[in-house]
Amino acid sequence: MQHFPIFLDLADRPVVIAGNGAFALAKMRLLSKTQARLALYAPVPEADLESAAAELAVPLHRRSVEAADLSGAALAYAAHGEAAADARLAGLARAAGVIVNVVDNLEASDFITPAIVDRDPVTIAIGTEGAAPVLARKIKADLEATLPVTLGPLARAGKLFRPHAEALPQGRARRDFWADYYFNTGPLVLAEAGEELLDHALHALLDQHLNAATEPGRVDLVGAGPGDPELMTLKARRLLDGADVVIHDHLVPAAILELARREAIFVGVGKIGFAPSTPQEDINAAMIEHAQAGHRVVRLKGGDASVFGRLDEETEALSAAGIDWSVTPGITAASAAAASIGASLTRRGRNSDLRLLTAHDVSGFADHDWRALARPGAVAAIYMGKRAARFVQGRLLMHGADGQTPVTLVENVSRPDQRIVTSRLDQLPQDIAEAAFAGPVITLFGLAPARAAAVLPALIEEFA
């Protein structure tokens, strides 16, 4: 992000526009929506500009801008559409310590003006770092079409009411009040009774919220899916959106955590195989402590919360502490990995059962019904299997599995850095060593990709 978006208070602050024609006119019209003290400098103004300045009551100075005109200005706009005059203004502005925008010249500007969707006081600024004005215009048009025009009146009444809402305790109680106003009561009152009654409705709503007993805290254990935010359930999104506290494992990527409110408290409780990790008791204690403080806690787990996620240990601890909880399922790594290779986890005539297994458990490498797994057509998704490959291979071969059985390894399933490695049972440890995986890997035993290799590497090779 080269340009940082901020909203600047221009009330009563001088803003200088120097230039002529359509450029100066557009900037003057835009800035006259603010409460800035505008001044327009145009030695020989075009007729349109002159009449617009009169209409908007912007003082028009029929001369070139001088150094003194810039002192104390908040912003300066060079809108001559002519390089020498623009450069002169930019020089004067910088000498006076005023940041300057040269219209249609990104390199010469200190700041840029975004595309704006105006539902004052709700203002949306869209920027593309000058990369794609077409894209910015499209996003603006889409937003204009989706945002109700009533947003303005709702937000204006809400803004005036803010001091009253301070009667509610800061945090969830206040947020719930505002959510109720903006998404339920407000739009209803506006549609049925009109803007004048919004203030009355706000007072009534506040009383209602003040009287409501403050809800006790709770914990929702939520499966975040394999990493792609689009593979989350709507319910997971909604719960994350309402969370005061998010307790997440390392498998949950930043792209998903970013969907939570910025003010939420984030607690990372990494559990990385063979590396230092947060003891389960500490995770339980953190959940209980936050819920007892009245917070809405989301315990966010990679994939599905009930697959190798120590879910029961957490729910039992919560029940023992008398805390209300629920579980929201997610897409487990096995499902996402099968999708990534276009293969089916079960198939008529091949396998009528599917095993989700972990290659190691609390006491080391995990034992399984190897004989059943060694049968032709058996399919298993092996979690946490990187280091146990040689052990798994040995057990399966010992029980008569075919060395040619296909094995597909998928690293970072559904993430931008997803990698698919095809192997066979008799080559598994070597192929894993060669792949030097750094991210989480799921092993699909008995499955080969349905599509010949991945499409992307083929494309890249073609253009290399």
Query: Which residues form the interface with ligand SAH (CB under 6 A)?
Result: 226-227, 251, 301-304, 307-309, 332-333, 383-384, 410-413, 440-442
Name the minimum Å distance from CB 422 to ligand SAH: 15
33 among known catalytic residues: no
Cβ closest to ligand SAH, residue 185 vs residue 408: 408
By C-beta, is 24 or 333 nearer to ligand SAH? 333
3-state secondary structure of 123: strand
Considering the complex, what minimum distance in angstroms separates the CB of residue 341 from ligand SAH? Answer: 12
Minimum separation from the CB atom of position 224 to ligand SAH (A): 9
- Nearest residue to 226 (alpha-carbon basis) of 80, 141, 330, 108: 330
Q: Which of 271, 301, 304, 386 is catalytic?
A: 271
Cα 351 to chain centroid distance, Å, stands at 39
In the complex, least distance from residue 130 CB atom to ligand SAH, rounded to whole angstroms: 35
Provide the minimum distance between the beta carbon of 241 and ligand SAH in the complex, in angstroms, as a whole number: 22
Q: How many Cα atoms occupy the beta-carbon half-sphere of 99 within 13 Å?
A: 7
Whether 122 and 186 have beta carbons less than 8 Å apart is answered as no
Compare residues 20 and 315 and give the one whose CB is closer to ligand SAH: 315
For 290-320, give the DSSP string. Answer: HHHTT-EEEEEESB-TTSSS-HHHHHHHHHH
> Among candidates 103, 43, 44, 63, which has minimal Cα distance to 90?
103
**Least distance to ligand SAH, CB of residue 457, Å:** 18
Phi, psi values for residue 159, rounded to 5°: -65, -45
The residue among 276, 269, 274, 337 whose CA lies nearest residue 304 is: 337
Residue type, 220: D
Q: Which is nearer to ligand SAH, 103 or 343 (CB)?
A: 343
Query: Measured between alpha carbons, how far is 448 from 424 in angstroms, rounded to an integer?
Result: 9
Give the active site residue among 249, 301, 304, 386: 249
* Contact of 313 with 280, CB cutoff 8 Å: yes
Closest approach, Cβ 412 to ligand SAH, in A, equals 5
CA distance 78 to 104: 10
Integer Cα distance of 2 and 129 in angstroms: 7
Q: Which is nearer to ligand SAH, 73 or 384 (CB)?
A: 384
Instruction: Specify the 3-state DSSP secondary structure of 114.
Output: coil
Q: Toward ligand SAH, which CB reaches closer, 217 or 302?
A: 302
For residues 256 and 228, what is the distance between their CA atoms, to the nearest angstrom? 8
Length of the chain: 464
Nearer to ligand SAH, 349 or 416 (CB): 416
Contact present, 415 and 448 (Cβ < 8 Å): no
Q: Which residues are catalytic?
A: 249, 271
